[in-house]
Amino acid sequence: MSRGDPHSPAGIAVEQVGRYESGQFDEDAAEIVAHDPAIDDLFVVNAEAGGVDVLDVDDPTEPRKVGALVPGKGWEDAGEVTNVALSAGVLAVAVGAVDPHEDGRVLFYDAAERAHLGGVAVGPTPDMVAFTDDEYALVACAGEPGDGYAGDRGDRNGDPGEAGDDGGRNVDGDRDDRGEFPRGAVAIVDLSDGAAAATSEVVDFAAFDGREDELRERGVRITAPGATFSEDAEPEYLAVGRDGERAYAVLQPNNAVAVLDVAAAEWIAVHPLGYKDYSSTGNELDASDVDRITIRNWPLHGMYQPDAIVSYETGGEEYLVTANEGAMRAFETTTVADLDLDPAAFDLEDVAGVDSIADLQRPEHLGNLKVTTERGDVDGDGQHEELYAFGGRSFSIWTTEGERVFDSGGDFEYLVAMHHPEYFNVDGLYNEPFVRSTEKGPEPEGVDVGQVGERHYAFVGLERVSGLVVYDVTDPRDATFVQYVSERDFDVDPVPEIAEGPGDASDAGDLGPEGVTFVPAAESPGETALVVVGNELSGTTTLFAVHPAGG
């Protein structure tokens, strides 16, 4: 296993101190984590079990399971549990319906007593729940049906698949029996009269329908064939603003962030996130699955398409931090080799070793890289003048108006190459290198920000290679790298030795970090801040202590 320097001079050092092992491998047994400081319990989404595991972490070095909640009990149409959040001792649990066209629910529990308090219907496929305060809970409902016009939007450990192949739960689908696409939305749940009397208002994007041309012109992606914006929009994750009056919803496939006025129950704006220039110094990537590490610049753009988003305040201003995972829809996914490129549009003079479009489309260059067909044919002549790949392979910091002030560029791939050169851009289930280079690389997915002393730090989970990256984000325009940590054991090849062999679920260490949660020192079981990571493939929940440097 590879770990960062425990004596990092950069303010803090992160060190693994405890791990709970569910014994479940590749079953989504540890995803999103919420911490209750009053009772020092962790609530961990166990999607395969259809519930939430309760872990006692009074001693962070020995977390132990003390119970479980099964929110779908008594609801015969209950599907997967997807997310949890805590506020003032109330636990909110998001649960989808078996039929992804139907409304999901958010259910509420007394965290200490694990007693059901109430619940309410929300929109289709709820993906995240968050509290603004004790008065409101918000639920991001992606509106992702199961099969139809699009294949996989982010299959955890496989290829995008063909249209009609659901490839995991993160997929889009066709119209339902009413001739409609389900609409993405955010549900505003009013808790002012208590969880037992909760009411829900579902706010979709119908107000933007008819403005698709305007949105596209501004850079918002609308790609589902025949869909309006309200049908195409997919709220994936939420960040609640510092005053609780606004919330920021990532529209992942749309490469945008929408701003919600909570009290007014209306969308204020949709901010396009723009495109990453992989031809610029600092934005290098490895784009080939040929057997060598080649991190370099290419005539290529990246769509940020974040998964997780979190807000934080520094210097009196509020900022948003995103983990730029990427989101593939099969109907728009192809490879560079399969595109008809306009030779006159690509300046290859500064691209070493590439003399022609034919060279550019070779497998050892960009040929096998997954790109979109929906953007890049600038003049509509059937030839692509530009190339757009999925995801930013980075984390970014934005103003609340959608201005990007920092991006980690090519740092993540350089870190993986430095720490795991023999296992560069591996998948979460196999130790074969380079297989993710042509898709979304290390695939940053989860992120949280926490304050230690006077400084702010971002903790970013890399889903595929299974690493945790730490940055000092006190100055959002000049964030600095602090540490890279990995608890993956590359001496064990997960599927051959665990799924198909005699190994135990956790023998390869932590695999597939999904949720990242910061616990401040004032709320942690001891006097040290913690970072808790739910690892969906290994089924492990891992606790990291955050020590002040030199402490």
Contacts 24+ apart (CB under 8 A), 400-403: 400/241, 400/246, 400/248, 400/259, 400/311, 400/318, 400/319, 400/320, 401/271, 402/257, 402/269, 402/271, 402/272, 402/273
Per residue in 361-412, pLDDT (tens digit) is: 999 999 999 999 999 999 999 999 999 999 999 999 999 999 999 999 999 9
pLDDT of residue 8 exceeding 50, the answer is: no
Pairing of strands 266-272, 275-277: unpaired
The closest alpha carbon to 247, from 219, 231, 269, belongs to: 269
Specify burial of residue 217 (Cβ count, 10 A radius: 0-12, 13-18, 19+).
Answer: exposed
What pLDDT does residue 10 have? 59
Bridge-based pairing of strands 301-303 and 388-390 is: parallel
pLDDT for the residue numbered 145 = 54
pLDDT of residue 100: 86
Query: Each residue of 31-50: pLDDT tens digit?
Result: 999 999 999 999 999 988 88
Are 81 and 70 in contact by the 8 Å Cβ rule? The answer is: no
On the question of pLDDT at 6 being above 60, the answer is no
CA angle 374, 334, 176 (to 5 degrees): 65
Strand partners, 120: 106
Written as six digits, the tokens of 93 are 């649990």
Residue ranges of the domains in the chain? 12-548
- Residue 119's pLDDT band, with cuts at 50, 70 and 90, is very high
Average the pLDDT over 288-306 and give the result: 96
Cα angle 359, 362, 364 (rounded to 5 degrees) comes to: 110
CA-based nearest residue to 409, from 295, 292, 293, 291: 295
- Going by pLDDT thresholds of 50, 70 and 90, the confidence category of residue 291 is confident
Per-residue pLDDT tens over the stretch 205-241: 999 999 999 999 999 999 988 899 999 999 999 999 9
Alpha-carbon gap, residue 279 to 285, rounded angstroms: 10
For all residues of the chain together, what is the average pLDDT? Answer: 91
pLDDT of 162 above 60:
no
Whole-angstrom Cα Rg for the chain: 22
Q: What is the pLDDT of residue 179?
A: 47
CA 356/CA 338 separation, integer angstroms: 16
Average of pLDDT values for 254-274? 97
Cα–Cα distance for residue pair 189/144, rounded to 1 Å: 21
Nearest C-alpha neighbor of 253 from the set 447, 396, 391, 158? 391
Q: Which amino acid is at 98?
A: V
* Six-digit token string for 71: 């929110």
Q: How confident is the model at residue 155 (pLDDT cuts 50, 70, 90)?
A: very low
* Chain segment 317-369, per-residue pLDDT in tens: 999 999 999 999 999 999 999 999 999 999 999 899 999 999 999 999 999 99
- CATH code for the domain defined by 12-548: 2.130.10.10
pLDDT: which is higher, 180 or 78: 78
Using an 8 Å Cβ cutoff, are 63 and 19 in contact?
yes
pLDDT by residue (tens digit) across 473-528? 999 999 999 999 999 999 999 999 999 999 999 999 999 999 999 999 999 998 89
Nearest to 241 by CA among 340, 337, 136, 156: 136
Q: What are 438-466's pLDDT values in tens digits? A: 999 999 999 999 999 999 999 999 999 99
Q: Residue by residue, what is the 3-state secondary structure of 432-479?
A: CCCCCCCCCCCCEEEEEEEEECCEEEEEEEECCCCEEEEEECCCCCCC
Give me the percent of the chain exceeding a pLDDT of 90.
85
Residues near 533 by Cβ (< 8 Å), separated by ≥ 6?
Answer: 33, 446, 461, 468, 510, 513, 515, 516, 517, 541, 542, 544
pLDDT band per the 50, 70, 90 thresholds, residue 180: low
